[in-house]
């Protein structure tokens, strides 16, 4: 039975575009592809993708991240948001810590730059487009069915928010995690989840 009529479409109308999101299984497939890929800078790319998928960091803020922003002793990682001028501090998980350590110790070029993520030649990444393009290409190469969805770095950020909401997180918690200046920005993800429900056909069990 189709329960779409239970979710009136006129409540979804808005001038704000609904973000493209991916399931946890698709995100895992993407990360595993990058980790095991033949990319020249695969450890760097993997660490970047993990940071966006786990914390929702923006590509531009990752580009500016310094080695001093990683506190190995206290197991925290911070980022200064250029968009909101806020500082975010998160617990460094085993997954993110290992990904960063693998890159810094085994692949990161030596040099004088304090930036965490560098190009293969040791120079700094000049544009956030470089990061978004890397994610864009990885989505395509991974074999994930894009199905008309956007697939740049922001889609990982959007997916984190949507999946947090699906797992019971509140709007305020999601807003704090992503570093939104206003909770109104975060509310768009509730529309994403309602849209998912409207597209589902639920089978009603038969009682005999």
* Span 53-64, pLDDT tens digits: 999 898 999 999
Assign domain 21-198 to its CATH architecture: Orthogonal Bundle (1.10)
| Segment (H or E) for 195 | helix 188-198
58: nearest Cα among 196, 152, 197, 141: 152
22: nearest Cα among 135, 144, 133: 144
> Mean of the pLDDT values across residues 35-41?
93
Q: Which of 1-5, 50-54, 125-129, 187-191 has the lowest mean pLDDT?
A: 1-5
> In the structure, what pLDDT confidence band is assigned to residue 208 with cuts at 50, 70 and 90?
very low
CA distances from 129 to 72, 109, 120, 190 (A): 28, 21, 16, 28
81: nearest Cα among 93, 70, 89, 73: 89
Q: Given this model, what pLDDT does residue 81 score?
A: 84
| Domain boundaries, given as residue ranges, for the chain | 21-198
Of the two residues 156 and 162, the one the predictor is more confident about is 156
pLDDT tens per residue, range 74-117: 999 999 987 778 888 999 999 999 999 999 999 999 888 999 99
Per-residue three-class SS string for 105-148: HHCCCCCCCCECCECCCCCECCCHHHHHHHHHHHHHHCCCCCCC
Q: Reading across the β-sheet that carries 76-80, which strands appear in turn? A: 70-71, 76-80, 87-91
Q: Given this model, what pLDDT does residue 9 score?
A: 42
Q: Look up residue 122 and give its two tokens.
A: 């040791």
Q: Given this model, what pLDDT does residue 181 score?
A: 53
Q: How far apart are CA 125 and CA 143, in angstroms?
A: 27
CA distances from 176 to 48, 58, 63, 69, 75 (A): 20, 14, 21, 19, 19
């Amino acid at each position: 039975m189709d329960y779409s009529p239970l979710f009136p479409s006129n409540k979804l109308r808005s001038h704000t575009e609904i973000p493209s999101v991916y399931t946890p299984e698709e995100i895992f497939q993407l990360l595993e592809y990058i980790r095991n890929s033949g990319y020249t800078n695969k450890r760097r790319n993997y660490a970047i993708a993990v940071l966006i998928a786990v914390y929702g960091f923006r590509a531009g803020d990752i580009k500016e991240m310094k080695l001093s922003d990683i506190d190995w002793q206290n197991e925290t990682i911070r980022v200064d948001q250029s968009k909101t001028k806020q500082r975010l501090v998160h617990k460094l998980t085993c997954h993110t810590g290992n990904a960063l350590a693998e890159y810094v110790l085994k692949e990161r070029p030596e040099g004088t730059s304090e930036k965490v993520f560098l190009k293969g030649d040791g120079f700094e990444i000049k544009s956030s487009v470089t990061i978004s393009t890397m994610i864009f290409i990885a989505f395509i190469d991974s074999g994930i069915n894009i199905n008309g969805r956007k697939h740049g770095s922001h889609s990982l950020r959007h997916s984190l928010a949507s999946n947090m909401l699906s797992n019971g997180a509140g709007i305020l918690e999601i807003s704090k995690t992503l570093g939104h200046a206003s909770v109104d920005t975060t509310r768009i993800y509730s529309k994403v989840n309602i849209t998912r429900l409207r597209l589902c056909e639920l089978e009603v069990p038969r009682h005999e």
